[in-house]
Amino acid sequence: MKKLKVSAVSYLNTIPFVYGMEHSDIIDQIDLELDIPSDCANKLLTDKVDIGLVPVAILPQLEEHYIISDYCIGATGRVNSVLLLSDVPLNEIESIQLDYQSKTSVDLVRLLATKYWGISPEWVDTMEGFENKINGKVAGVIIGDRTFNLKKDYKYQYDLSEEWFNFTGLPFVFACWVSTKKISTSFEESFNKALEFGVNRIDELIEKYNSSNIPKLKLKTYLKRDIDYALDESKLKAIQLFLEYTSKNSFSSILS
């Protein structure tokens, strides 16, 4: 049987998924690749993979798509790894550097600026190393593991998931498992069980995981409290609302 190509996010929040796949029979049915979120998106958009843990912001760009799992990268309130960092308060920010690794978070910060914060900064696309340009009235959106060591350097930290929750009362979904073609029911079931296996064994995998980026206790808090993996009805509603906002407004990066 031909293996399915799968692209998963390379951040710490995905290690329960990777652990589950690597400790189940599903690993023999897939070729697993680990990528930054924007690369996960591009690979699915260009048919380089069959399944991707992709930013929800790309869903309108796919001619055909299927959400194939009951699990996602989501949060209810503060997530602690998708941040707008600034030396000054929101009303004094003049420009915002947009993390090149992100798609959903870029649209989210634009949405919040327009609909919730009431600010109109200059938006700046970035490349690697842009973090060094965040100072004064230049703020920046940073996502993923890099945020753990950067938060202390800035007076103002706006957690985008928490801001969305304050705005809408809903959780937020950053990425979900998507295919662009129908996948067999048997594979979907096995894939879902593999993800469930990993999510239910976070304590176990943390003991085996070595990272100098974050202490084990902090990693445990991040994976068990900050990240909310279940793709339930409230999160599906949040995805729908987010896509409605971005589809109706010119600030959506995926439509520009």
Distance of CA 62 to the CA centre of its chain: 18
pLDDT band at residue 254 using 50, 70 and 90 as cut-offs: very low
Please tell me the predicted confidence (pLDDT) of residue 249: 55
Does residue 82 surpass a pLDDT of 60? yes
User: Strand 156-159 vs strand 82-86: parallel, antiparallel, or unpaired?
Assistant: antiparallel
3-state SS of 88-101 is: CCHHHCCEEEECCC
Say how many residues make up the chain.
256
Q: In what order do the strands lie in the sheet with 122-125?
A: 122-125, 95-98, 138-143, 82-86, 156-159
The CATH number of the domain holding residue 15 is 3.40.190.10
pLDDT band at residue 209 using 50, 70 and 90 as cut-offs: confident
Q: In what order do the strands lie in the sheet with 30-35?
A: 30-35, 4-9, 51-55, 172-179, 66-75, 228-230
For 32-47, how does the pLDDT look when each residue is reduced to its tens digit (9 = 90+)? 999 999 899 999 999 9
**In the predicted model, what is the mean pLDDT of residues 81-110?**
94
Tell me whether residue 54 is exposed, middle or buried, using C-beta atoms within 10 angstroms of its C-beta: 0 to 12, 13 to 18, 19 or more: buried
For 143-202, how does the pLDDT look when each residue is reduced to its tens digit (9 = 90+)? 998 888 776 789 999 999 999 999 999 999 999 999 999 999 999 999 999 999 999 999
C-alpha dihedral over 120, 125, 129, 130, to 10 degrees? -10
Please tell me the predicted confidence (pLDDT) of residue 133: 86
With respect to residue 240, please indicate whether it lies within any of the assigned structural domains: no
Q: Where in the sequence is the domain holding 206, given as residue range(s)?
A: 4-75+173-232
Q: Rounded distance, CA 201 to CA 194, Å? A: 11
Whether residues 206 and 220 share a domain: the answer is yes
Does residue 256 surpass a pLDDT of 70? no
With respect to residue 246, please indicate whether it lies within any of the assigned structural domains: no
User: Strand 95-98 vs strand 138-143: parallel, antiparallel, or unpaired?
Assistant: parallel
pTM, full prediction: 0.91
Whether residues 138 and 212 share a domain: the answer is no
* More confident position, 101 or 48: 48
For 17-28, how does the pLDDT look when each residue is reduced to its tens digit (9 = 90+)? 999 999 999 999
Sign of CA dihedral 41, 45, 47, 52: positive
Total structural domains within the chain: 2
Amino acid at 122: E
Whether residues 17 and 53 share a domain: the answer is yes
Please tell me the predicted confidence (pLDDT) of residue 211: 65
User: Strand 138-143 vs strand 228-230: parallel, antiparallel, or unpaired?
Assistant: unpaired
Please tell me the predicted confidence (pLDDT) of residue 255: 29
Whether residues 57 and 29 share a domain: the answer is yes
Whether residues 127 and 144 share a domain: the answer is yes
**In the predicted model, what is the mean pLDDT of residues 67-94?**
96
Residue linked to tokens 């945020």: 147
Please tell me the predicted confidence (pLDDT) of residue 251: 43
The overall average pLDDT reported for the chain is 92
With respect to residue 219, please indicate whether it lies within any of the assigned structural domains: yes
Whether residues 108 and 181 share a domain: the answer is no
